Structure 1
């Protein structure tokens, strides 16, 4: 199956990864694992709290939840959270908040690849079944270039987490 996924990635190097997973009836983890190491790197989900803590200082990011029926995007700052009652609870002045089952986070992928012709950098939080729990994207400027300060933080965090 990996060869077919890599063929799909080669045919659409800036396409939607979720569509490849749906087409091949595989998890997003299977698709992410077929990306080259210079495009995607994986760290243990146990680093979630450390990574989330770093994200709280990034400013406005894009938070995405993707399902088979569509995706929800929210722009805002990442608020600190705390564990309680089986969830990582996120509250604050940001529109990004809720209750996350981070005990189910198996891996976090740092992904740096083109998306419809534009560079895109994201952190994809992967659950025990290989599905994406949610994705956090480095923010864009008005001219659709990545925010330089967040890009530097993304690259630094990726190096530190390895």
Structure 2
């Protein structure tokens, strides 16, 4: 293991709450490699072959926050994640009442990382879809209740999918 990775693992063991995209850029690492530097009890990595199983489970969870971060733009949608179906090589999201729709190149999913870590003094729980370069093209964060806590029913479903 190189010194940079060892140093980052030590830094993230002390404070895992930073913005991962910024940390990745600062250390010239992919998002996947940055997440792998977090304490191992915070993440579980699965093959992208589980894309269908995971993406099709999420619409039944209720309100979540879906994020696409290109580096130049962070796009967030709060509400139910849309159901979808395959056509022309994409997993096509059916438009929701709020207008959320889109197209996901499912075979671009190389791995899926389930992540639980502190962020801004609260627990943040997300599913991160990563491409072959280790970059996240979609993150889905679990919803919160009126007190700002992660919704317990979603956390149970997350844990079951992640095999926590």
Fold in common (TM above 0.5)? yes
Paired residues, number: 160
Matched, 1:131 2:150: no
Task: Report what 1:103 is aligned to.
Answer: 107
Task: Report what 2:8 is aligned to.
Answer: 5
User: 1 CA distance for matches of 2:156 and 2:45?
Assistant: 18
TM-score (norm 1): 0.92
User: 1 CA distance for matches of 2:29 and 2:106?
Assistant: 22
Comparing 143-152 with 57-66, greater Cα deviation is found at 143-152
User: 1 CA distance for matches of 2:12 and 2:6?
Assistant: 10
Q: Give the 5 Å matches for 1:140-151.
A: 140-151=144-155
TM-score (norm 2): 0.91
Task: Report what 1:29 is aligned to.
Answer: 32
Q: Give the 5 Å matches for 1:82-93.
A: 82-93=85-96
Structure 1 unaligned blocks of 5 or more: none
Comparing 129-138 with 149-158, greater Cα deviation is found at 149-158
Say whether the 8 Å CA contact 2:13–2:38 is kept in structure 1: no
Task: Report what 1:66 is aligned to.
Answer: 69
Deviation at 1:93, TM superposition (A): 2.0
RMSD: 1.5
